[in-house]
Structure 1
Amino acid sequence: MDEIELESNLNGVAYRLAERRDIVDMLAIERDVYEGEVPWTFSHFEHEIVQNKDAFFVVAEIDNKVVGFIGARLTDKGVNIHISNLAVLRDYQKRGIATTLINQIVRLMSNLGKNQMTLEVRRDNTKAQGLYRRNGFETDNLMPNYYEDGADAIWMVKKLRNNVEN
């Protein structure tokens, strides 16, 4: 993903591509957001950041402290992009950081000519669903028993180009 260029500083928040050294901070953000749980392990993050050439993470920093991140990977032979995860420390939520992280990916992937973005979100996570809807995602499909605990997921899609070719 060498062609990625980020808007580096918006409203006092710096955005940059994640590096291996950020993983510990990203795990701490997960613990905070998911009430002690860590859906992704160190090795999950490491694989996506270091090894997977079709994946990347963007972190948000305030005063050199990582306060949020978004992960994405190319899918469908590089035509589309899938958001793998998004999290912002609770103390930094409601400041537009999650929206800016989404918008960074939308802008980058639109500029690279990608067709659409997809993601899955827990059916019971109406707060996240609202965030995604406000950012142009639409519900596409229900995925029963998607998560390990048996919870359902909602598949959401955002078109990036007007002339989507099949």
Structure 2
Amino acid sequence: MTTVAPPSSGESIRKATRADLLDVFRIEKQVFDQPWPYSAFERQLGTPGFLVSEATELAADERIDGYVVADTIPNHQRPLGHVKDIAVRPGARNQGVGAALLERTLDVLERRGARSVKLEVRESNKPALHLYEKFDFEYLRTLPQYYTDGEDAYVLVANLEDRDSF
């Protein structure tokens, strides 16, 4: 795996707070045709893998450039990491924000005992597939008609034990 450069110097990645929820929800609605409801993000507050990339040099209405929601789930003797949602504000794409969020998330999940991480992604989401490939996610299976519009999802898995140290 390639070591990822941090997002621009005006960014910091931290745990999400209640004050971030409106910005997170705005990004969710901009990015996804079938967004999570606001209440879903409220329920994730306090989850160690709910992180935001905060732009420290932008106007207040564009303070959050991206977010990720991830957690661990029981899996036999060792937790399995699960990236549930990740998005970057359209104006902040191609600046390393998504990669930095994913890298930090994998660190959090590994510290929580996960040996591997899974996620679901639309088969048509080529930018996301490209990002996950950089992090050594591999195709596991297809979930037919996973999304309400009938599109399939790919389940991808990454082995954290094979990760490079950062």
TM-score (norm 2): 0.82
Check whether the contact 1:146–1:153 (CA below 8 A) recurs between aligned residues: yes
Hey, what does 2:18 align to over in structure 1?
20
The Cα offsets for residues 90-144 of structure 1, whole Å up to 9 and x where unpaired, read as 1100000100001001122223331111000001112211111111111110110
Greater RCO, 1 or 2 (C-alpha within 8 Å, sep 6+): 2
**Structure-2 change in CA distance of 1:32 and 1:120 (3 Å):** same
**Partners of 2:112 and 2:73 in 1: how far apart?**
14
1:137 aligns with 2:137: yes
Hey, what does 2:40 align to over in structure 1?
44
Deviation at 1:27, TM superposition (A): 1.0
SS of corresponding position for 1:22: helix
SS of corresponding position for 1:100: helix
Check whether the contact 1:79–1:114 (CA below 8 A) recurs between aligned residues: yes
Hey, what does 2:128 align to over in structure 1?
128
Matches within 5 A, 1:10-159: 11-34=9-32, 37=33, 39-50=35-46, 56-63=49-56, 65-76=63-74, 79-159=79-159
**Partners of 2:37 and 2:127 in 1: how far apart?**
24
TM-score (norm 1): 0.82
**Partners of 2:142 and 2:34 in 1: how far apart?**
24
The Cα offsets for residues 19-70 of structure 1, whole Å up to 9 and x where unpaired, read as 1221110111112223xx45111111111115xx5x6410001126111000
Check whether the contact 1:49–1:56 (CA below 8 A) recurs between aligned residues: no
Check whether the contact 2:7–2:97 (CA below 8 A) recurs between aligned residues: no
Q: Give the alignment's Cα RMSD to 1 decimal.
A: 2.1
**Partners of 1:152 and 1:18 in 2: how far apart?**
30
The answer for unaligned runs of 5 or more in structure 1 is: 1-7
The total of aligned residue pairs comes to 150
Check whether the contact 1:9–1:15 (CA below 8 A) recurs between aligned residues: no
Q: Kindly, what percent of the aligned residue pairs are identical?
A: 29
